[in-house]
Amino acid sequence: MRGGAAGTKPPAAHWAEMIRLLISAALLPALAGCGHQAAAPEGPTAAQSQTPPAPAPSADPVLTPPEAAAKPGLPSASRDPDVVLHAWADAVEARDWAAVRAFWGDHGARSGLSEAAFAAHWSGLRHPKVSLAKGESEGAAGSLYYTAPVRIIDGARVISGEVVIRRVNDVDGASAEQLRWHIESTTLTP
């Protein structure tokens, strides 16, 4: 009989360890082919522990970014405002000022600045790290608004404020530009 003594099955932790090892073994050739070093599996084995460790509690209210929904250099077309703001934050951290500007309405024109002026305005940020907190949604006159607290840390400098994004609420005849979440306003002053 497979799996141990007659009439018994191996514990679930044993199966989980076997699956983890099989997945690791399957990924090693793929990682080696792309120049990445594969790390040895971490954590206790089934023989060492049968209960996984609990995740460490987080005291930071900053959200973990959802899966990326934008191509580099382009604003996100996601219907989830958190995904859009995380894509914007990624563009800020990459110092891709053309992409940051494109998150504004009318593909950046609503920022009130030309591409060159926008880049000059934001380029004072040298190594920005953006933190986003959970925002609040509201609807008004056919539009949806989402306001989120934002903090940008750039060395010793900390910039705090809010970003308000807006989109048209699924109205017949609305264009793709009107339906996408875009920056309506911000209190950030880089």
| pLDDT given for residue 171 in this prediction | 85
Q: Please give the model's pTM, rounded to 2 decimal places.
A: 0.62
SS3 letters across the chain:
CCCCCCCCCCCHHHHHHHHHHHHHHHHHHHHHHCCCCCCCCCCCCCCCCCCCCCCCCCCCCCCCCCCCCCCCCCCCCCCCHHHHHHHHHHHHHCCCHHHHHHCECHHHHHHCCCHHHHHHHHCCCCCCEEEECCCEEEEECCEEEEEEEEEEEECCEEEEEEEEEEEECCCCCCCHHHHCCEEEEECCCC
Question: What is the Cα–Cα distance from 161 to 153, expressed in whole angstroms?
Answer: 12
| pLDDT given for residue 73 in this prediction | 55
Strand partners, 132: 150
Return averaged pLDDT per consecutive 10 residues of the chain, 190 residues in all.
Answer: 46 51 45 43 45 42 42 72 95 96 93 96 97 94 95 97 95 89 95
- The matching CATH number, chosen from 2.60.40.1080, 3.40.470.10, 3.40.50.150, 3.10.450.100, for 81-186 is 3.10.450.100
CATH 3.10.450.100 in the chain, residues?
Answer: 81-186
Question: What is the Cα–Cα distance from 75 to 90, expressed in whole angstroms?
Answer: 10
